[in-house]
């Protein structure tokens, strides 16, 4: 079996976002299992990225029989597979419809078009969660094979790294993309109310201009904004923080599958989340954090304060080991291989 993973942008840069982190982890996992794998992307020439996986131009899809099966990673990836005639497995993060999610309004027509192509072309579909699987079945029926493959986390992580925070105060960390204006507004509110209790740090991209705001929603000055940081370095931010923040993009759970929770918990960082986050099952499994009502800044503030003042330190090592056993990237790659075999 030879697998091609079709990615929508150049994957040769540093893995700063979860899209590149997941791509590299899944591709390397396949290669480690002896499955020849290429990442196929809009690049001009072939190369090998630092994890040892080949990256080839889209023209590779025109070569008959080169790939046994290909996997597309996001909605738009299916459009790049137009020159491929073999079996396709597609991953969908969230299923859009005529009105939801609201933040996808600018891209709605394109995303709906991609879903139609996936319905027509794919033999298998990957979802992060059962909520989006049910939405797909509601709108498109059940003619493809389906597998649930959430985000994973690494088995081995750096430790004992230098502390990136200098004041010695407790740190509330937001890791990942700011994907809705309300997330910025909530962090600003918390930072203003709790400026004497802790520091607020944001590591990731501010994508509010892309999703619903028209322009970027700014973070207030008490918040330290670090931008996007390569994946190996984020662990020192997790290691030296006190609480991880998991904020919902909005009221609909299917639109709130937060990859950051896997990384917080793998790094031993307790989490405060909102109730419309569908990955809250991780907190229910580990008892390592708290869940506040959606869109209630005061309740979120009080539960955050409780975690800062009474952290569940005794559970830390147990939670870190639990994440490795049940939610590692290796576990996710096993599910992907099983889906490929079923499709073929």
pLDDT, one tens digit for every residue, the chain (344 residues): 999 999 999 999 889 999 999 999 999 999 999 999 999 999 999 999 988 899 999 999 999 999 999 999 999 999 999 989 999 999 999 999 999 999 999 899 999 999 999 999 999 999 999 999 999 999 999 999 999 999 999 999 998 889 999 888 999 999 999 999 999 999 999 999 999 999 999 999 999 988 865 789 999 999 999 999 999 999 999 999 999 999 999 999 999 999 999 999 999 999 999 999 999 999 999 999 999 999 999 999 999 999 999 999 999 999 999 999 999 999 999 999 999 999 99
β-bridge mates for residue 172, sequence order: 200, 243
Q: Domain spans of the chain?
A: 2-152+328-343, 171-324
Q: Would you identify the CATH topology of the domain 2-152+328-343? A: Rossmann fold (3.40.50)
DSSP H/E element including 124: strand 124-127
Give the pLDDT score at 274: 98
Q: Are 55 and 41 in contact (CB under 8 A)?
A: yes
| CA pair distance 73, 42, nearest whole angstrom | 14
Q: Are 201 and 224 in contact (CB under 8 A)?
A: yes
Handedness of CA 266, 75, 338, 50 (dihedral sign): negative
Pairing of strands 54-57, 47-48: antiparallel
Write down the residue that tokens 């028209």 correspond to: 214
- pTM for the model stands at 0.96
| CA pair distance 336, 134, nearest whole angstrom | 20
3-class SS at 315?
A: helix
Of the candidates 15, 9, 10, 42, the one whose C-alpha atom is nearest the C-alpha of residue 28 is 15
| CA pair distance 144, 125, nearest whole angstrom | 7
DSSP H/E element including 201: strand 199-203
User: What homologous superfamily is domain 171-324 in, according to CATH?
Assistant: Glycogen Phosphorylase B; (3.40.50.2000)
- Please tell me if the domain spanning 2-152+328-343 has the same topology as the one spanning 171-324: yes
């Amino acid at each position: 079996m030879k697998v091609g993973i079709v990615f929508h942008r150049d994957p040769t840069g540093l893995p700063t976002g979860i899209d590149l982190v997941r791509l590299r982890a899944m591709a390397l996992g396949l290669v480690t299992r002896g499955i020849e794998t290429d990442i196929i992307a809009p690049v001009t020439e072939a190369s090998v990225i630092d994890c040892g996986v080949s990256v080839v131009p889209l023209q590779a899809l025109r070569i008959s029989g080169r790939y046994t099966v290909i996997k597309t990673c996001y909605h738009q990836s299916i459009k790049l597979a137009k020159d491929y005639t073999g079996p396709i497995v597609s991953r969908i993060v969230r299923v859009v419809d005529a009105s939801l999610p609201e933040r996808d309004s600018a891209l709605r027509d394109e995303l709906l078009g991609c879903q139609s192509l996936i319905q027509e072309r794919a033999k298998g579909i990957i979802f992060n969660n059962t909520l989006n699987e049910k939405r797909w079945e509601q709108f498109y029926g059940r003619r493809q094979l389906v597998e649930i493959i959430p985000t994973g986390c690494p088995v081995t992580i750096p430790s004992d790294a230098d502390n990136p925070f200098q004041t010695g105060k407790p740190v509330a960390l937001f890791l990942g993309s700011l994907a809705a204006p309300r997330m910025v507004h909530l962090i600003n509110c918390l930072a203003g109310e709790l400026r004497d209790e802790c520091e607020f740090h944001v590591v990731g991209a501010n994508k509010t201009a892309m999703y619903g705001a028209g322009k970027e929603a700014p973070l207030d000055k008490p918040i330290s904004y670090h931008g996007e940081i390569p994946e190996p370095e984020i662990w020192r931010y997790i290691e030296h923080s006190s609480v991880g923040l998991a904020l919902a993009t909005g009221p609909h759970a299917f639109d709130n599958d937060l990859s950051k929770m896997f990384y917080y918990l793998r790094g031993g960082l307790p989490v405060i989340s909102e109730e419309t986050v569908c990955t809250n099952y991780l907190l229910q499994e580990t008892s390592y954090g708290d869940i506040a009502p959606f869109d209630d800044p005061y309740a979120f503030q009080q539960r955050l304060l409780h975690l800062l003042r009474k952290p569940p330190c005794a559970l830390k090592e147990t939670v870190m080991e639990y994440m490795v056993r049940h939610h590692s990237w290796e576990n996710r790659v096993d599910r992907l291989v099983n889906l490929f075999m079923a499709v073929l």
